[in-house]
A and B are shown apart, each in its own frame.
Chain A
Amino acid sequence: MRKRKELAQPSDIAFLLIIFFLLLAGVGISRAIPIEMESGSRGADAAGKTLSVTLKQNGSIETSTGVMDIEKLAAELDSATRLTLLVEGQTRWQQVVHTLSLLSESPVEAVNLEEAP
């Protein structure tokens, strides 16, 4: 008598493997960039130097010394610096997030986000 072909076994294993690898890959786990909000007295009491720079709509950074790339600015920042990022109103959120992401890799102590006047 011929052995009956089981349909359940391979498909069960395949689906269980799919679910296992989906969970392993972190399906649904959100990723985020944290911003420490300098609210009220906390920001005012902070020691160290505060640097204000403007994020332009095209992604460039305007400092008191001129216009530069965000990568160059991130390399110049040290751990005692608190950065106030003044963002131009029409700048896309993608540009702001990209800048925050690069700044999070620099040793800067805190970043404060504000709209440029």
Chain B
Amino acid sequence: MRRKRTPPASAITDIAFLLLLFFLILAVTTRQLPTDISLPHTSSAQKADESTPTLTVSAQGELFLEQEAITIQDIPFSETYTLIADRDTPFTHIAPVLSQLRSLNVEVLECIVEER
């Protein structure tokens, strides 16, 4: 009868570190959202600037700046903003945000989409 051979300890640590590396890369490169969002999809889009502040509007109209819930009046000035909105959000929830950004003289708004 053949004896079952245990794999060397170094092989197991190799796999463990590679798995760790894999999940670390995945966690670092994935955008963290404050609420459950289904992104709208389009056929064409550009690469988004990751360094600009992000506003998130949920399907129910809740507004977040990065991870924190805020009101429209609390949006601070920035030349550029990134907007993440759920694909089912009615425009009536987004229009006041755009209006506030316009009054703050925001120049560019990048709307995050899922490219297909």
Chain A residues near B (Cβ < 8 Å): 4, 6-8, 11-12, 15-16, 18-19, 22-23, 27-40, 87-94, 96-98, 100-101, 104-105, 113-115
Interface residues of B (CB under 8 A from A): 5, 7-8, 10-11, 14-15, 18-19, 21-22, 25-26, 28-31, 40-50, 57, 82, 85-92, 94-95, 98, 101-115
Given contacts A28-B30, A28-B31, contact A104 B44 (CB under 8 A): yes
A-B contact count (CB 8 A): 158
Dominant secondary structure at the A interface: mixed
B82 to chain A, nearest CB (A): 7
> Residue of A at shortest CB range from B24?
A19
* B95 pairs with A37, CB closer than 8 A: no
**Is there an interface contact between B109 and A34, defined as CB atoms closer than 8 Å?**
yes
**Given A15-B19, A31-B115, A93-B86: A101 and B105 interface contact (C-beta under 8 Å):** no
Contacts of A30 in B (CB 8 A): 31, 47-48, 50, 82, 112
Q: Are B108 and A36 in contact, CB atoms less than 8 angstroms apart?
A: yes
Q: Which residues of B contact A16 (CB under 8 A)?
A: 18
- Whether A36 touches B107, Cβ cut-off 8 Å, given contacts A28-B30, A105-B44, is yes
Given contacts A23-B25, A37-B102, A98-B42, 12 further A-B contacts (CB under 8 A): A8-B10, A11-B18, A15-B15, A19-B21, A30-B82, A32-B46, A34-B111, A35-B110, A89-B90, A91-B91, A97-B40, A101-B45
Could you say which residues of chain A place their CB within 8 Å of the CB of B42?
A: 33, 97-98, 101
In the complex with contacts A7-B8, A90-B92, A31-B112 CB distance below 8 A:
yes
